Amino acid sequence: MIRFACLADAHIGRHSSAAPEETALRAFARVVDQVIAEPADALLIAGDLFDSRAAQYPARRALVDHLKRLKQHNIPVVAVAGNHDPEALRDFHRSFPDLLHLLGDTAWEEIDLKGIRILGRSFVKSRAANLLDGFHALPDSRPTVALLHADIDAASPYNPVRLDELRGRGVGAWVLGHVHLPRLWSDPPAAYIGSPQALDPGEPGPHGFRWLTWDNTRFQFSDLIPVSSVRYESLTLTSTDGQSVEDGIEEALAQNDFGTARLFLRIHLRIRGERPHIPEGPVTEETLTWQVMSTEDCPPVDLAAEAEQSDARGQAARLLLALEDAENPAAYTSADTLIDQLLADLEDRRDKLRIPPGEHFDVLRGTPETDRLAAVRALRTALASVLTAGRRAT
């Protein structure tokens, strides 16, 4: 079996916004450690190894050392340039051509690794039209992996590519960069690898790299291999009758496995009854830092009792209970249907307003996690307004 380690959007030169000492370069070093330990047959990088042209210089000595380690273990590195590092990666490659293969400087280019064709196309400047326009039919049916930095299904200046354009090109797996949140597709086999280090609160969840294996019949991406030393998450907590935020966090941590990374929590606090003490600014406790970013006063009503009613208040109460009872699929169905409708309405408004979804507009563009969180919050607010309204006289 052949195993490639897949990486993207390392952004060497940056650090996690909440922890300046946790750098992208350190995350890259952890990837190298694991790639050597496994080992890998190659390391494939789908763009934005560097954050900028200037960022390469302070990191050069350390990066060269890491790449030399890979070379000593006979692990080749193959990369394409993304929108952040078209000049930086070319500068680095000119200085150290024996440490990595840079593909697709002006056109699609390939290299053979153990009988597998690795294709790639680099950004020439910080913006690019659809780079698939220069993708020609493959001359044979060899197993093929393609590296591409692209904005999938988005109208943007950063190589906008429709997902269906990746199909039918004879490529067995697409290793993609640009979006920092990891994502997998099965048709075609493709993956946004995501950034190895969580760099800001807009990048929740685990971050790392993926294995891509070839078993002589098909390619398969592994689950994410976490390497980020920082994890950002947003939580909605409910405080009832003055329950402390700390108690709510403790319960949430007992129910969720956030791994061993340093955790930064942004909290939306729903308050029922007495208002708890809410500290100003962030609170740090060992490897956990949290901050209440917003609050929402919930209706002082007995939801269970209201849910027994057949009027609009009863329906609102049942939906709110369903949102809070994710372990009960039957109860959640009706609320989930409303959320899906909210998401569809949101997408329709994006189209009508023609919001440009560039690389800094991931939330506007629509990722399942952030959209659903916003939709749930909007739905809760709407339902709460129904419950706080008076009953009509009958």
**Backbone Cα Rg of the chain:** 24
Rounded-to-integer distance, Cα 28 and Cα 228, Å: 9
Q: For residue 360, which of 163, 151, 161 has the smallest C-alpha distance?
A: 151
By percentage, how much of the chain surpasses pLDDT 90? Answer: 70
Rounded-to-integer distance, Cα 106 and Cα 102, Å: 11
Rounded-to-integer distance, Cα 301 and Cα 314, Å: 11
Amino acid at 196: P
By percentage, how much of the chain surpasses pLDDT 70? Answer: 82
Tokens of 63: 């990066």
Higher-confidence residue of 392 and 35: namely: 35
Residue 364 has pLDDT above 50, yes or no: no
Mean pLDDT of the chain: 88
pLDDT tens column, 58-101: 999 999 999 999 999 999 999 999 999 999 999 999 999 999 99
42 touches 78 (CB < 8 A): yes
HEC string of 34-81?
A: HHHHCCCCEEEEECCCECCCCCHHHHHHHHHHHHHHHHHCCCCEEEEC
Average pLDDT over residues 211-226: 97
Contacts of 256 (CB under 8 A, 6+ apart): none
41-50, 172-181, 307-316, 318-327, range with the lowest pLDDT:
318-327
Rounded-to-integer distance, Cα 160 and Cα 51, Å: 20
Q: For residue 219, which of 170, 162, 179 has the smallest C-alpha distance?
A: 170
* 311: confidence class by pLDDT, cuts 50, 70, 90: confident
Rounded-to-integer distance, Cα 68 and Cα 66, Å: 5
Higher-confidence residue of 333 and 192: namely: 192
- pLDDT at site 392: 42
User: Residue 19: beta bridge partners?
Assistant: 16
Which CATH number fits the domain 2-226, given the four candidates 3.60.21.10, 3.90.1150.10, 1.20.120.1200, 3.40.50.300? 3.60.21.10
Q: Give the number of other Cβ atoms within 10 Å of residue 248's Cβ.
A: 20
pLDDT tens column, 107-133: 999 999 999 999 999 999 999 999 999
* 306: confidence class by pLDDT, cuts 50, 70, 90: confident
Rounded-to-integer distance, Cα 322 and Cα 316, Å: 10
What secondary structure letter does DSSP report for 223?
Answer: P
Domain boundaries along the sequence of the chain: 2-226, 229-298, 305-394
Higher-confidence residue of 380 and 22: namely: 22
- pLDDT at site 361: 37
Strands 160-161 and 208-214: unpaired
Rounded-to-integer distance, Cα 86 and Cα 142, Å: 29
Helices (H), 269-391: 303-306, 312-323, 329-353, 362-365, 368-388
